Structure 1
Amino acid sequence: MATLEKVLEIKSQVMHRANGEVAENMRMAGIIYKVNYGVPIPELKELAKPYKGDHDLALELYTEDIRECKILASLIADPEILTGEQIDEWAAGFTNPEIVEQVCGNLFWKSEYALSRSIEWCLSPDELMRKAGLLIVARKASDTTIKESLLEPYIDIIENMAEEMTDLTQSAALFALREIAKRSYDLAAKVKETVSRLTESENELAAWVGNELLFELTE
């Protein structure tokens, strides 16, 4: 079956699974897409299985202005083939936290370009890009082929973004620091020092992250 035929078949299956109530709840929560059929993530994962690794299909799906097509693209794409240019093109389409979480969690963190994009995005003024950068390093922290020295700078980066922390970046910052701390005793000690300072932050969200992790690291 040709790529465009597969796209049409997938779109048909997506529409068949449409859930208007879910789509409306997402819209009310501020998760906005041009087209959203409200198909639950577990169903999308099942739908993606027969197409896994079909990178050309994934690239074509991501061009569709449809929530489900973009998420399916992230589940189908081959991270070993994914180029830095493709990562940048997809990231340019980030418009809400769900698509950031799905694309980074399903695909981007597995790419050889993950950390280079991650550190760049963590330093971005754009909140969604900062969230993306944090989610990638959180996932990548458990990869033992990566040197600890590449993870350490993120501890300071997160501390430096503390005063500007928002609901968008709070959970991702917590996730990243927690996973970095799990990597080694030395990194855990550095994270503990940092979160001790965060507890005194004037930003309530950053202070919450500090208190939460300080409790975990001193148990």
Structure 2
Amino acid sequence: MDINTTIKEIKQSFRLMMDGAVAKSMRDKGLDYKLNWGATLPRLREKADEIGKNYDLAIALWKENVRECKILATMIMPADRMLSEVVDIWMEQTPTQEIAEQAAFNLYQYLPYAPAKAYTWMASEKELYQLCGFHILSRLFMNGQEPNERGINEFIDQALAALQGNSIPVKKAALSAVQRFAELGLVYERIAKSAIKRANLDFL
């Protein structure tokens, strides 16, 4: 079956998952997709499991300006086959906070070069890039990946900048990453606490 036919069938399956209340609540929050069926994430995950990992299909789905297609693309893309340049293109084309978070959780945290991307994005001027960077690091810390000394300093600097910034989503992502960092062990907890204290942000 060719990819266009497959995509057509996938899109038809979204109709069955349609949830008007979810779609409306997203529109009310300003999440404006060209097409949004309001399919819930568990339903999309089931669909992804049914399809399995598929590089070409993921690339084709991502090109569709449809919320569900983009999320599904992040779920079926094999992380070990995704080139760094493709990740950069996807990141540039990421339309909303939801898609950025889904990409970080479903895909970017598993990339072989995930830490490098996370550190680059965390230092970006763009809000969605920062958000993605902190979410990836949160996941890596949760999985017990410890940064080296340079990584620690860079992470703490960027996290403090984010926590003192104006973007609520980025603040939340940075705070979550700092908490995960502190959970890596006593030394990390002390580093996090003293940094937070220095910045007069005492909440750890």
Instruction: Give the alignment's TM-score, normalised by structure 2.
Output: 0.92
Q: CA deviation at 1:151?
A: 4.2
- Tell me, yes or no, if the aligned pair for 2:162 and 2:170 is still in contact at 8 Å: no
Per the alignment, residue 204 of structure 1 pairs with none
Per the alignment, residue 102 of structure 2 pairs with 102
Structure 1 residue runs of 4 or more that deviate by more than 6 Å after TM superposition: none
The whole-number CA distance in structure 1 between the counterparts of 2:165 and 2:16 is 42
Aligned residues: 203
Counterpart secondary structure, 2:18: coil
Q: CA deviation at 1:38?
A: 0.5
For structure 1, the 5+ residue unaligned runs are 201-206, 215-219
The whole-number CA distance in structure 2 between the counterparts of 1:176 and 1:40 is 25
Q: CA deviation at 1:113?
A: 2.2
Per the alignment, residue 91 of structure 2 pairs with 91
Per the alignment, residue 76 of structure 1 pairs with 76
Per the alignment, residue 37 of structure 1 pairs with 37
Counterpart secondary structure, 1:68: helix
- Tell me, yes or no, if the aligned pair for 2:77 and 2:107 is still in contact at 8 Å: yes
Q: CA deviation at 1:147?
A: 4.4
Q: CA deviation at 1:2?
A: 2.5
1:191/1:145 CA distance change after superposition, 3 Å? closer
- Tell me, yes or no, if the aligned pair for 2:163 and 2:175 is still in contact at 8 Å: no
Counterpart secondary structure, 2:4: helix
Superposed counterparts of 1:70-219, under 5 Å:
70-144=70-144, 147-149=147-149, 151-152=151-152, 153-198=154-199, 200=200, 207=201, 210-211=202-203, 214=204
1:165/1:114 CA distance change after superposition, 3 Å? farther
Instruction: Give the alignment's TM-score, normalised by structure 1.
Output: 0.86
For structure 2, the 5+ residue unaligned runs are none
Instruction: Give the share of equivalent positions with the same residue, in percent.
Output: 29
Which stretch of structure 1 is more off in the superposition, 64-73 or 15-24? 15-24
Q: CA deviation at 1:50?
A: 1.6
Q: CA deviation at 1:146?
A: 5.2
Per the alignment, residue 217 of structure 1 pairs with none
- Tell me, yes or no, if the aligned pair for 1:74 and 1:103 is still in contact at 8 Å: yes
The whole-number CA distance in structure 1 between the counterparts of 2:55 and 2:19 is 27
The whole-number CA distance in structure 1 between the counterparts of 2:198 and 2:52 is 44
Q: CA deviation at 1:136?
A: 0.8
The whole-number CA distance in structure 1 between the counterparts of 2:150 and 2:107 is 20
**CA deviation digits over 1:45-95, x for unaligned, max 9?**
111112121111111100000000000011111011111011111111122
Counterpart secondary structure, 1:172: helix
1:119/1:145 CA distance change after superposition, 3 Å? closer
**CA deviation digits over 1:151-191, x for unaligned, max 9?**
41201221133332421212101111011111122111100
